[in-house]
Amino acid sequence: MAGWRVQSVDLTGRTAELLGLQPTGSVFLGCLLDDKADGWVRDGGGLVFPAIPELPFDAYRGRLYDADELYAGLENGYDATPDARIYAWSRQHDEKGDTSRTLATSLHDHAIADALAELPDEEPWVGVMGGHGVLRGDANYRAAVLLGRTLARRNRVVVTGGGPGAMEAANLGASLASYDEADVDAALAELAAVPSFRPSIGAWAAAGLGVRARFPGNGGVSIPTWFYGHEPPNVFAGSIAKYFSNAQREDVLLGRARGGIIYLPGAAGTVQEVFQAVTPNYYGDAATQIPLILVGINHWTVHLPVWPLLQSLAADRQMTHSIHLVDTIDQAAELVS
């Protein structure tokens, strides 16, 4: 078993097979083992990381989340779902300063990063960032839907921060890539009946799940975080890599979007993501640049004057060729296609 890495697998019925192998160099992460097999592995030079009890999540999970898992039990209210229970657990243990909490969440986030790395990347990943406050039914929401749909139709993998608003819209658009304009209008009209996750996350998520059932499709990837647990994850991403650590989540999110990043109008979180992604371009050479596109001239020059600062940073550097300011989603899509 040298080199084996077995993660979150029930092996209680495989004792005889395990006893016939040499365990030196093997690692078992959160697996279920009979006492005899557990002793055999440990005594033979293998490592056994036991499951951590009393957690509302699997710290060693071997796959990413999906909306059905995170929202299981939604018919009993959002508070009954795994997503809500995990967030409540994280807040409780944050307040206690519990070191067992940091161990459990670090193991979980390591497992999520490992599962995310296993996703295929034959097609370029394009990040779409934007504010969580954009309402369903709003013109900006529709624009983000059309952007996600356009990118997916051009064989780009749409990756977002996984929350509501513009992020949800981009994942929704990717999931509607195979549908016609009438279907897009129908999906948007249905969602507009519940424009926000406030006051009811349950009603908001249920509306999204209803649209997803009516128009099934792969909405790309989302990378949300329980650090912002008050912002529920949208249901349209095909794969959900939800982290506890926001810092790790941001780094992974921006690092995977090698096909470019499109910034729709947003506030503090979106501004943070702009400058976090700009830093590698600023210090990088021509070969390491990725396109960074800000959408909304008035927003990024007047309301939040990020663009003038980017221009100053880019002066006389390779970065000057990788930053762009446009006013429409069609212009943005062209720059990453």
Cβ contact 235:83 at 8 Å = no
pLDDT over 80 (residue 65): yes
Residues 6+ apart with CB under 8 A from 301: 307, 308, 325
What is the rounded distance in angstroms from the CA atom of residue 20 to the CA atom of residue 181? 60
pLDDT of 100 strictly over 90 = no
Q: For the segment 265-303, what is each residue's pLDDT rounded down to a tens digit?
A: 999 999 999 999 999 999 999 999 999 999 999 999 999
Residues 5-12 have a mean pLDDT of: 94
> How far apart are alpha carbons 265 and 122 in whole angstroms?
29
Give which of 273, 234, 281 is closest to 254, Cα–Cα.
Answer: 273
* Residues 147-165, mean pLDDT to the nearest whole number: 97
Place of tokens 């249905």: 190
Query: Which residues share a beta bridge with 10?
Result: 32
Question: Quick one: fold of 125-335?
Answer: Rossmann fold (3.40.50)
Q: Residue 295 — φ and ψ, nearest 5°?
A: -110, 125
Listing DSSP states for 223-261 in one string gives --BGGGTTSPPPS--SEE--BS-HHHHHHHHHHH-TT-E
Cβ 236 vs Cβ 212: under 8 Å:
yes
Residue 63 phi/psi, 5-degree rounding, is -150, 165
Structure confidence at residue 101 as a pLDDT band (50, 70, 90) = confident
Nearest to 227 by CA among 244, 250, 242: 244
5-7 vs 157-160, strand pairing mode: unpaired
Domain limits, CATH 3.40.50.450, in the chain: 125-335
- Average predicted confidence (pLDDT) for the chain: 95
Residue 271: φ, ψ to 5°: -60, -45
d(C-alpha 236, C-alpha 70), whole Å: 12
C-beta of residue 265 within 8 angstroms of C-beta of residue 258: no
Residues 234-268 pLDDT 10s: 999 999 999 999 999 999 999 999 999 999 999 99
